[in-house]
């Protein structure tokens, strides 16, 4: 793998074409999914930084569940309005493999994570801009971030899994010199 260096092109995250997704086991039988949009940030000097507003959370369920996710039992949006990430290293392989190590912050709790996935090398778009993409996944334990809500199932087990899979799709636009 090649580690990005200070000489690497600087990119801004294209918020219109980027998202942070999450998925978690629900009732022990299915997977619940949601997304955060409005992702902002950059890939500059070998450092990937970004954030997304918690209020942007989107789930395909009743509004009451969205409000529960925004409450203190989960994201605590009123007191912690953003989810953020800052990398320690970004490694990109010639074959498109990518690994990003850094600190994920949710509810003002920061933990080291490793995300892996795919890097799409830069291409010129029809408007003369240069674009690249990163698609990454990582698994976290939601309890590490203070999200401890749980409900036992009548026949044993928990209503909500503790392992959460994060999926990040970033479209990046090269910044003009």
pLDDT at residue 129 above 80?
A: yes
- The C-alpha angle 53, 140, 107, rounded to 5 degrees, equals 40
Least confident of 15-19, 56-60, 83-87, 167-171: 56-60
Q: How far apart are CA 94 and CA 57, in angstroms?
A: 34
Q: Which residue has the higher pLDDT, 61 or 129?
A: 129
pLDDT of residue 6: 36
What integer is the mean pLDDT of 7-17?
A: 86
pLDDT of residue 112: 98
pLDDT band for 8, please (50, 70, 90 cuts).
Answer: low
- Could you tell me the residue range of the domain that residue 16 belongs to? 2-174
Q: Which residue has the higher pLDDT, 138 or 157?
A: 138
Query: Which helix (H) or strand (E) is 152 found in, with range?
Result: none
pLDDT at residue 2 above 60?
A: no
pLDDT in tens, 34-55: 999 999 999 998 899 999 999 9
Chain-wide mean pLDDT for the chain?
Answer: 91
Provide the whole-model pTM.
0.89
pLDDT at residue 137 above 70?
A: yes
Percentage with pLDDT > 90 across the chain: 82
For 2, counting Cβ atoms within 10 Å of its Cβ (0-12 exposed, 13-18 middle, 19+ buried), the class is exposed
pLDDT of residue 77: 95
Work out the number of other CB atoms within 10 angstroms of the CB of residue 67: 11
Question: The domain that contains 23 carries what CATH number?
Answer: 2.40.128.110
What integer is the mean pLDDT of 86-96?
A: 93
């Amino acid at each position: 793998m090649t580690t990005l260096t200070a000489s690497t092109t600087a990119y801004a995250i294209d918020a219109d074409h980027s998202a942070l997704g999450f998925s978690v086991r629900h009732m022990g039988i299915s997977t619940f999914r949601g997304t955060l949009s409005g992702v902002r940030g950059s890939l500059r000097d070998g450092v990937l930084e970004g954030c997304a507003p918690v209020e942007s959370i989107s789930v395909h369920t009743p509004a009451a569940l969205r409000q529960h996710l925004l409450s203190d039992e989960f994201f605590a949006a009123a007191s912690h309005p953003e989810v953020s990430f800052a990398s320690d290293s970004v490694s990109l392989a010639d074959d498109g493999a990518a690994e990003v190590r850094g600190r994920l912050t949710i509810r003002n709790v920061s933990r080291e994570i490793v995300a892996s996935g795919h890097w799409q090398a830069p291409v010129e778009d029809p408007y003369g801009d240069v674009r690249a993409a990163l698609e990454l996944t990582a698994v976290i334990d939601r309890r590490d971030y203070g999200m401890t809500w749980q409900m036992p199932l009548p026949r044993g087990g928990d209503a909500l899994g503790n392992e959460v899979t994060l999926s990040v799709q970033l479209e990046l636009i090269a910044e003009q010199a």
